[in-house]
Amino acid sequence: SPTKEKVVQALSDSHLFVHQISPKQFLRGCYMWKFQKDITDEALEQDARDYTDIGKVPPYVCDYLIHIYGVQ
């Protein structure tokens, strides 16, 4: 069965596709939802690179997806 990481990654990719937003837009929105402040450009660049290159989904994105979709 798929790992939790793969499920979260697939849900993230689907969310980007459905809403027609870039990974950076998505990551920034998730970060702002979680922490009530903007993410630094440096952190955004790193998180976007990790997300795009190796499929690493930051914990704040997982929290956002659980909030939106109710998945555990």
Distance from C-alpha of 31 to C-alpha of 29, rounded to nearest angstrom:
5
CA of residue 11 relative to chain centroid, distance: 9
Residue 1 pLDDT level (bands cut at 50, 70, 90): confident
Q: What is the pLDDT of residues 2-48, one digit of tens each?
A: 788 888 899 999 999 999 999 999 999 999 999 999 999 999 999 99
pLDDT at 61 over 70: yes
CA distances from 56 to 34, 36 (A): 18, 22
CB atoms closer than 10 angstroms to residue 30: 25
The two structure tokens encoding residue 39? 């993410």
Query: Side-chain half-sphere of 8: how many Cα atoms within 13 Å?
Result: 18
